[in-house]
Structure 1
Amino acid sequence: MTALADVARSTPSGEGERGNRPTLAVDLGAVGANVRHFARITPGEVMAVVKADAFGHGAAGVARTALAHGASRLGVTSLDEALALRFRHIDAPVLSWLNPVDANWGAAVREGIEVAVPSAEHLAALAPGARVHLHLDCGTGRDGAEPAAWPGLCAAAARRPDVSVVGVMGHLSCADAPSERGDASGREIFGWGVRVARAAGLDPVHQHLAATAATLNDPLSHHTMSRIGAGLFGIDPSGPGRLTPTLTLTAPLLGVRTVSAGTGVGYGHTWVAPRTTTLGLVGVGYADGLPRSASNRAQVLVRGRRRPLVGRISMDMSVIDLGTEGAQMGDVVTVFGPGTAGEPTVAEWASWAGTIEHEVMTGLGPRLARRMS
């Protein structure tokens, strides 16, 4: 048997087992539950956004799950991401909205991929037969046509009978706090943009402004469709806990040692043992996605109790102060999970690192064995 086969066979298959490698368990049932929640609260279609390999969860599996539980369309950033879905025989409607002017527009037409158009230059470069969503900047100052350029873009699109304008899209800048003035302005700009498109003779069937936060918090932003990315994976930017977390990261203890008071741990000895204690080593570090900025703040679950990570998180490993837990090599450490057993959550890791859950999820590295369930 090959070494690769040995590794594959040794991957842990269930929670709480002794395994020999860090494992990221992806709960597709939780993804499905989150999609159903969004389908209930929005009157329009749900577009499941599976960009960045579905926030590190695996785009193909998440896409199929979302489509089976209420989503009708998929969204990604690049054409490469969209074509990868087609390669996996996923034939649902897909929208790609962040591409250079010289993207492979012909491939988009051949594979039935809809594309966003943020400028006259993009519009002019499209292959005949393209299906497009005109993209309006509604206040983010990033992607999308500036409002001053919007009437000209709509008029130019109307002069291209070989291109079908099927949608208008925008993005809100302050949807995490729906009372923000920026979102009221964004809604107004979007409504104006749809009216301008229609006055130019276009018929954008799909109108979508709301992403996860606005779909949850701002019914005024709901149109014919909502784009749900972070919410698929249990991230609620406003924090009420209406969604189900989807990831659990476990790793075995690779080493256990007793150290005396005054022992320094890790590079720079940023933590020094204040007493005799037991230290545990896990083979997960910042190359696997644990934020180094969470050093000396993060916690993990060992034998049913939270224990602190101590010293700097290294590229390949982290150290746990086990105290007197009596842990042994091979014991499974829960780095994060849904929180139902007392383990830390991705949200807590994000707080310890001074960042957002999205960054923690999308940073999880390829060395972690993925297990879909």
Structure 2
Amino acid sequence: MTTANTTGTTMLADGVRAEAAIDLSALNGNLTALRERVQHADLMAVVKADGYGHGALPCALEALAAGVRWIGTATPEEALALRAAGIGPDRARILCWLWTPGGPFAAALRSQLDISVSGQWALDELLAAVRETGIPARVHLKADTGLGRNGAQPHDWPDLVDAALRAQAAGQLDVVGIWSHFAAADEPGHPSIQAQLDAFDTALAYAERAGVRPEVRHIANSPATLTLPHAHYDLVRTGLAMYGVSPIPELGAPADFGLRPVMSLSARLALVKQVPGGHGVSYGHRYHTPGETTLGLVPVGYADGIPRHGSSAGPVQIAGKWYTVAGRVAMDQFVVDLGGDTPGIGEEVLLFGNGERGEPTAEDWAMACGTIAYEIVTRIGARVPRRYHGASQG
């Protein structure tokens, strides 16, 4: 049975070791807020990495309920899974962009996926799949405008565009998109931002002079969606922001951008015990109790996605009070020094949430671990069950 506290926030059900509660109403609200911010562009809901740890399919379905018609994944396997789950081409365009040689190009064509092409090898394999299936491809050509990852370099761009146009003239594909990705949009004012926009405009200009008439041009990720309206073009790709986590915490918390965190991570105290001063705690005894105290055992660890870098640093809330991880995070559990407090066995431990109960947030964990909030939410493992509530369609 699931209970609720006085704020209406759902809490752990009886017998549950730990769970990640996913508030789909918050996701819907975030997407609505983001769409209002980009009124002259479409919005893509990015659900790669299992929806940044939130669950790709439930989040994609909620995005559709919110009126989104573009879905983004990294790998083709992620996109094919969404199609297999019933998100057909009549419901959403799905773009996948991280291809490797021998990838499932034929399956992607049969599933009517949008396919990113960053180099000649990928175009060659895609065209072989087109000949095999007889199905023309929908292609987004990616330009490397300065990130240095995927995408064609400026000196290779004309050849890639020209080869794609020859295939288009032969009826083998349609170039429906031109796109790129920022390196430092989360650092407003960084000189690379304007340099990349200039490079993107140059790539677009060549493609359009050559005869490409794309449906969508897109370069904006979550931080650019929030801070660079001139980079919105025809489509923006929102990842972290749609899950209610600020991609630019130096500029503002989620609420400052009209966003609300979607995931709350909780566990139950498995043990509370009194120990003497000087007692070593967890592997390596990197923590010793400063005096007689109580210790609480939290039954989640790095196998569940709790960062080991959170050792002696990660914050939790128990019975309305903050505590810090004592000693090393182990594979399945960690310990907190309760300072003499004696909460009950089975008491809820809030690792992070939306902050409305005064609990830590994913950003608090990111700061404690010296990382980014993207990693905190994305790494929560499959051993932690997800519980969904607030869905628009039940």
Question: Under a length normalisation based on structure 2, what TM-score does the superposition of the two structures give?
Answer: 0.90
CA offsets, 1:41-95, max 9 Å, x none? 1121000010011011110000011121132200101110010001110121100
Q: CA deviation at 1:113?
A: 0.2
Paired with 2:290 and 2:18, the residues of 1 have a C-alpha distance of: 29
Q: Secondary structure at the match of 2:350?
A: strand
Paired with 2:16 and 2:41, the residues of 1 have a C-alpha distance of: 46
Q: Does 1:51 align with 2:48?
A: yes
Q: Does 1:28 align with 2:35?
A: no
Q: CA deviation at 1:174?
A: 1.1
Which residue in 2 is equivalent to 1:6?
A: none
Match of 2:36 among 33, 40, 43: 40
Q: 1:270·1:311 contact (CA, 8 Å) conserved in 2?
A: yes
Paired with 1:206 and 1:354, the residues of 2 have a C-alpha distance of: 37
Structure 1 segment 215-230 matched on structure 2, within 5 A: 215-230=225-240
Paired with 2:33 and 2:101, the residues of 1 have a C-alpha distance of: 37
Match of 2:269 among 233, 248, 253: 253
Paired with 2:77 and 2:12, the residues of 1 have a C-alpha distance of: 37
Q: Structure 1: give runs of 5+ residues left out of the alignment.
A: 1-9
Task: Quote the RMSD (CA, aligned, Å).
Answer: 1.4
CA offsets, 1:173-232, max 9 Å, x none? 110123111010100111111111111111111100000000101112110000011111
Closer, same or farther in 2 for the Cα pair 1:27/1:177, shift >3 Å?
Answer: same
Q: How many residues align?
A: 364
Q: Does 1:274 align with 2:290?
A: yes
Q: CA deviation at 1:109?
A: 1.2
Mean CA deviation greater in 260-269 or 63-72: 63-72
Q: CA deviation at 1:20?
A: 3.3
Which residue in 2 is equivalent to 1:265?
A: 281
Q: CA deviation at 1:102?
A: 2.3
Paired with 2:11 and 2:196, the residues of 1 have a C-alpha distance of: 45
Q: 2:46·2:72 contact (CA, 8 Å) conserved in 1?
A: yes
Match of 2:80 among 73, 77, 83: 83
Q: 1:12·1:20 contact (CA, 8 Å) conserved in 2?
A: no
Paired with 2:335 and 2:311, the residues of 1 have a C-alpha distance of: 10
Q: Secondary structure at the match of 1:147?
A: coil
Match of 2:216 among 190, 195, 206: 206
Which residue in 2 is equivalent to 1:70?
A: 67
Amino acid at match of 1:264: G
Amino acid at match of 2:110: R
Q: 1:17·1:332 contact (CA, 8 Å) conserved in 2?
A: no
Amino acid at match of 1:365: G
Paired with 1:365 and 1:158, the residues of 2 have a C-alpha distance of: 43
Match of 1:195 among 201, 205, 227: 205
Amino acid at match of 1:74: I
Paired with 1:366 and 1:324, the residues of 2 have a C-alpha distance of: 34
Q: Structure 2: give runs of 5+ residues left out of the alignment.
A: 5-9, 131-135, 390-394
Paired with 1:95 and 1:12, the residues of 2 have a C-alpha distance of: 39
Paired with 1:222 and 1:369, the residues of 2 have a C-alpha distance of: 36
Which residue in 2 is equivalent to 1:94?
A: 94
Which residue in 1 is equivalent to 2:321?
A: 305
Mean CA deviation greater in 320-329 or 219-228: 320-329
Amino acid at match of 1:157: A
Question: Under a length normalisation based on structure 1, what TM-score does the superposition of the two structures give?
Answer: 0.95
Q: 2:12·2:18 contact (CA, 8 Å) conserved in 1?
A: no
Paired with 1:308 and 1:124, the residues of 2 have a C-alpha distance of: 54
Q: CA deviation at 1:350?
A: 0.8
Q: Secondary structure at the match of 1:37?
A: helix
Q: 1:132·1:163 contact (CA, 8 Å) conserved in 2?
A: yes
Q: Secondary structure at the match of 1:31?
A: helix
Q: 1:18·1:252 contact (CA, 8 Å) conserved in 2?
A: no
Paired with 1:86 and 1:114, the residues of 2 have a C-alpha distance of: 12
